[in-house]
A and B are shown apart, each in its own frame.
Chain A
């Protein structure tokens, strides 16, 4: 019941928001639903199941559910203040789509059925397309259209991939036609290999488009650049992780069928290309929100590299899911504040953010240090774990490239970030009256302290959940 509630309550709240006339009250409904959802997600016990096993909380799904729920709540709390600043824009559709997004992403984390996952991913995609268009100007229109077209092709390929995997089961199996992941795992080596392989490639391309793995990442800079920071954070920490989870679920099927090595090679390839593309485009990036998009491409690459390497790196990858999501909250929301304060997101017009909006500027800088893997923040631990996994797994080339890209990205991203925060305040910043207020920075401070905690001492319950989730992915090899 609890699981169904987690999916249905946000949907119901979306209906309530849709009939609420007051633009001031609607953001409060979103924030309240977020808090309620987080409480529910914390109360879930791994192993809960409803609806004939279609929805169930296994450690892997539970971990992503908690990340999404926490991320959404932080963003929703920020959203109350943000939407108050953006009074000129109607927020009805925005709030309804935010809540729909929460419902759909929850469904992705809990779905145990190959096709139900797809339906939920498509639902989440459509709601975010509308969210990207919040500013309703030519640029956000272009971003939304590209997101919609590229995302739709990706999602169509993922559907075909899901159907291929289903056919692999139909072809190999003895009359059992269930598409529950549990049934697919049980078929194991009985699945038809050619169909499974072809299906997996389509799924990696399809859900990889949603994750923003290069070379299917081209929607990302536009969408993250033009959408409000709060949407950037939800996409970079929520949507992408859900698509990653969908891939992991199919990866388990591949492993059970004895095709794990094929899948891991594919992951390593896409991961390294993503990091390389991010490194190339991050250097000399003048738009700091687009820069964050390439950072997201990089970190999706890191996640799949972790899975591709396997072993201890799996733990690293799942830790990184948490660290990346929380750090992205800090980066996107602070970037959003700086954007508001200067009315620009180009480093040609933005400088001296540490003086102009001291808290947001400092958080942007701290977020940069955290995401690039500087100690004592969480991403340092997770990236280091992946690296040591690569070394102990004798993936020396992967490890060397991984390190090289991290260094290049640190330098490239650093140049842009320092240009934003340092120096005298540029004239553009003087003309707006935007200031840091409690609600505009508190959610970021909360996220940053969690990133810090994850870097110093990972709470036992979190670590146990990550270990249990990693164990699910270990498989036979």
Chain B
């Protein structure tokens, strides 16, 4: 079980590189969706005895992260007929290199944080931090609103991985609240994206540059 849990996490980290390295928006969203699937099923391998509550979490998170949000982004992509290219501020190769450095840094930093015996020999903390960093990179170095939202989704995946260490300490209501907030957050982003498209006829956030000092 432990090995399977670790393999799943490694798959999740691989998706970071795929999302950041692809020149194609659809591939990026697919990588995020696949990562969503991996992080959602991870608790099943991580917790020795899954409870009904854990199963509920896995199903809800899995559906939201793998299908609902990526589906929404794909639909937005189809509807606005934008070119299926990333148009990054920072080139693909430099951003992948930066991610590699960041992933290494995450591993080094995670090493300094003491873990409980039950959580050792698992890659949870480095994977969570590396995924957070990947999401942040995607969010800051891409021009299209859709890729920024995808970055946010990946960032949230990283936090979700870490949150599994605390599953038992979190009251159900709080876990539901956190998930709900994320869904509503992305939903609001979707609405604003829709307005950006109508106002500017494009989802290029480069055009959002009128306000400055």
The smallest beta-carbon distance between B47 and chain A, in angstroms, is 15
- Assess whether A156 is interfacial by the CB under 8 Å rule: yes
Q: Which of A119, A139, A159, A195 contacts B113 (CB 8 A)?
A: A195
- A152: which B residues are within 8 A, CB to CB? 152, 185, 189
- Assess whether A317 is interfacial by the CB under 8 Å rule: no
Q: Are B184 and A141 in contact (CB under 8 A)?
A: no
- Assess whether B63 is interfacial by the CB under 8 Å rule: no
- A123: which B residues are within 8 A, CB to CB? 181
A129: nearest residue on chain B (CB-CB)?
A: B188
A290 vs B158: C-alpha distance when bound (angstroms): 35
Q: Are A160 and B195 in contact (CB under 8 A)?
A: no
- Chain A, interface SS category: helix
Which residues of A122-138 have CB atoms within 8 Å of chain B's CB atoms? 122-123, 126, 129-130, 133, 136-138
Q: Which of B136, B166, B188, B210 contacts A166 (CB 8 A)?
A: B166
The interface on chain B, measured as residues whose beta carbon lies within 8 A of the other chain's beta carbons, has a size of: 43
A-contact 0/1 string along B111-153, CB 8 Å cutoff: 0111110000000000010001000100100000100100010
Stretch at the interface among B18-26, B90-98, B169-177: B169-177
Stretch at the interface among A14-22, A83-91, A142-150, A299-307: A142-150
A164 vs B1: C-alpha distance when bound (angstroms): 25
- Chain B, interface SS category: helix
Q: A152-B152, A153-B136, A194-B113 are in contact. Are A143 and B196 (CB under 8 A)?
A: no
A-contact 0/1 string along B177-213, CB 8 Å cutoff: 1100100110011001001100110000100111101
- Assess whether B100 is interfacial by the CB under 8 Å rule: no
Q: Which of B156, B166, B211 contacts A222 (CB 8 A)?
A: B211
Q: Which of A119, A145, A166 contacts B205 (CB 8 A)?
A: A145
Q: A138-B210, A177-B168 are in contact. Are A163 and B181 (CB under 8 A)?
A: no
The smallest beta-carbon distance between B196 and chain A, in angstroms, is 6
Q: Are B159 and A170 in contact (CB under 8 A)?
A: no
- Assess whether A58 is interfacial by the CB under 8 Å rule: no
The smallest beta-carbon distance between A138 and chain B, in angstroms, is 5
- Assess whether B162 is interfacial by the CB under 8 Å rule: yes
Q: Which of A126, A170, A194 contacts B112 (CB 8 A)?
A: A194
Q: Which of B128, B184, B213 contacts A126 (CB 8 A)?
A: B184
Which residues of A280-326 have CB atoms within 8 Å of chain B's CB atoms? 281, 285, 290
**A-B contact list, 19 entries, CB within 8 Å:** A115-B178, A116-B177, A126-B188, A129-B192, A136-B195, A142-B208, A143-B211, A145-B205, A148-B192, A149-B148, A152-B152, A159-B178, A160-B128, A166-B169, A170-B166, A171-B115, A177-B168, A198-B113, A222-B211
* B→A interface (CB under 8 Å): 112-116, 128, 132, 136, 139, 145, 148, 152, 155-156, 158-159, 162-163, 165-166, 168-171, 174, 177-178, 181, 184-185, 188-189, 192, 195-196, 199-200, 205, 208-211, 213
Question: 4 tightest A-B contacts by CB?
Answer: A177-B169, A119-B177, A142-B208, A122-B181
